[in-house]
Amino acid sequence: MLRHPARGFTVIELIVVLAVVALLLSIIAPRYAQHVDRSRETVLRQNLTALRDAIDKFYGDRGRYPAELDELARERYLREVPVDPVTNRRDTWQVQAPRATERGSVYDVHSGAAGQASDGTLYASW
């Protein structure tokens, strides 16, 4: 009687394959996380630039600074107040008031995210 060899993988073969996959994941995962963090920082810089540009245009048109960030969206200087990509919220923006001689409440805006960026600076200082 002829016996056919068993089909499938041995336990050793499966362990070797899983070890190779784990090794590859341990190399790729940190790079992926760094890439995601750098992407968030890039979007944060772009959002801050857009907000500051809208504040400047608002001041140029109206001769005063906006009372709040939502006023920029209501008056169509922005479609909507952007999300802070680090905190993933719209309400964490930190506004800086103008000098006492200026009208309005929003002179500049900074991220309300805690922590440091990849370049060592604080998000709040951007």
pLDDT tens sequence for the chain (126 residues): 667 777 788 999 999 999 999 999 999 998 888 999 999 999 999 999 999 999 999 999 999 999 999 999 999 999 999 999 999 999 999 999 998 889 999 999 999 999 999 999 999 999
The count of structural domains within the chain is: 1
Structure confidence at residue 3 (pLDDT): 72
Going by C-alpha positions, the residue among 78, 61, 67 that lies closest to residue 106 is 67
Residues across the chain: 126
Structure confidence at residue 124 (pLDDT): 93
Structure confidence at residue 9 (pLDDT): 84
Is 92 within a domain? yes
Q: Structural domain of residue 53, as residue ranges? A: 12-119
> Which ranges in the chain belong to alpha helices (H)?
11-62, 69-74
Is 106 within a domain? yes
Is 21 within a domain? yes
Nearest-10 Cα torsion for 35, 38, 39, 41: 160
Is 80 within a domain? yes
Tokens of 125: 């200082």
Is 5 within a domain? no
Beta strand pairing call for 94-96 and 108-110: antiparallel
Structure confidence at residue 1 (pLDDT): 62
Which residues, including other chains, have CB under 8 Å from residue 57's CB and lie 6 or more apart?
Answer: 77
Helix (H, G, I), strand (E, B) or coil at 96: strand
Structure confidence at residue 39 (pLDDT): 95
DSSP state, 116? B
Is 126 within a domain? no
Structure confidence at residue 33 (pLDDT): 87
Is 7 within a domain? no
Is 101 within a domain? yes
